[in-house]
Amino acid sequence: MKEENIVVKDLNINYLKTGEGKPFLILHGWGSRKEKWQYVADILAEKGINVIIPDLPGFGKSEQPKIAWSLDNYCDFIVDFVNKIGVDKFYILGHSFGGAIAAKCDLRFPERIEKLFLVGAACYRRRLFKTRIFYIVSKALKIFSFIPGYFYLKKIFYRFIVKSDYISTKGIMREIYLQLVNKDYPSESILSQIKDPTIIIWGEKDRITPMKDALLINKKIKGSILEILKKSGHSSYSDCPEELAKIIIKHID
C-alpha cells in the first residue's frame, strides 16, 4: 500500500492507494483516519480493486479547512481530489460521516459514480426534537461548570447519552461539526432522489447509527440492497473486516 500527498483546494491531503483495477474510493467517519480501513483495503486489492482512501480534510494527516466547511464543500473536495489523481468514474463507500458525504456526492454528480456503498452511514438529519434537546441540555450543563469533574461529566453526556462527537472537536472542526449537524445534513426525504445502484451495509449491533436508520435508508432509496453484519457494531471495518470485504467484492461489477 502506497501513501501519497497531494494538494487539493490549497490543503495538503494524505491518502493511501493500493491495488489495480476499478477505482474504489473509501471515505472514513468523523474523527477517524484512513489507516483504520487498511486491512479491508488490502483484501479488496487482492481481488483486483484499486482502493483509494484519503484522510478527509481535518482528520488524520490531512490539513484542516481554513473556514467552516459545509457538506457541499466536502463534496467539492471529493470532485477535485479524484480529478487530481486522474480518476473519472469510481465506486464510492462512505462510513458514518463519510456516508453523508458519499450520499451527497451521488446526488450532485451521479454520472461519476458507478455504485454507492453506505456503511453505518449518518446520511440524513434525524428528528429536530433530538437536535433541540442537544442544544438545550448542553447550555444547561454550563450552569454546573464550577463543579469539580465538570469536564468528565460533560464528556460522558455527549459520548454516551447524546452519542455525539461534539466534545472531541475544537476550533474550526467544532464549527464544521455544528454546521453539519444543525444545518447541512439533508432530510430523509432527499434520499429518495438517489438513483445510482446502492448497497447498504449495516452492523446489527450498531448503537451509533442503529438498524432503524438502515431500514429507513433502504426504504427511501429505490432498488437499494441491504446487507446486515450480524456480529458487528458501528465499526465493521474492525469488527468483521473479512465479512465486510466479502460483501463489497460481491457487489463490484
**Whether residue 142 has pLDDT greater than 50:** yes
CA-angle at 24, arms to 81 and 208, nearest 5°? 90
Residues 146 and 22 in one domain: no
**Residue 170 shares a structural domain with residue 58:** no
pTM of the full predicted structure? 0.87
Range of the domain at 162: 127-184
**pLDDT digits over 27-73, tens only?**
999 999 999 999 999 999 999 999 999 999 999 999 999 999 999 99
138 and 180 part of one domain: yes
Check whether residue 159 and residue 193 sit in a common domain: no
Instruction: Give the pLDDT confidence score for residue 141 in this predicted structure.
Output: 58
Using the predicted structure, report yes or no on whether residue 153 has a pLDDT greater than 80: no
Do 151 and 75 sit in the same domain of this protein?
no
- When mean pLDDT is compared across 55-59, 182-186, 213-217, 234-238, the lowest value belongs to 182-186
Structurally, how many domains does the chain consist of?
A: 2
Residue 177's pLDDT is 87
Shared domain for 46 and 120, answered yes or no, is yes
CATH number of the domain where residue 201 is located:
3.40.50.1820
Residues 108 and 29 in one domain: yes
Which residues are 200's β-sheet partners? 118, 226
Query: Span 86-106, mean pLDDT?
Result: 97
User: Which among 161, 41, 40, 56 has a CA at the least distance from the CA of 105?
Assistant: 56
**pLDDT band at residue 129 under the 50/70/90 scheme:** very low
Residue whose C-alpha cell is 497531494: 6
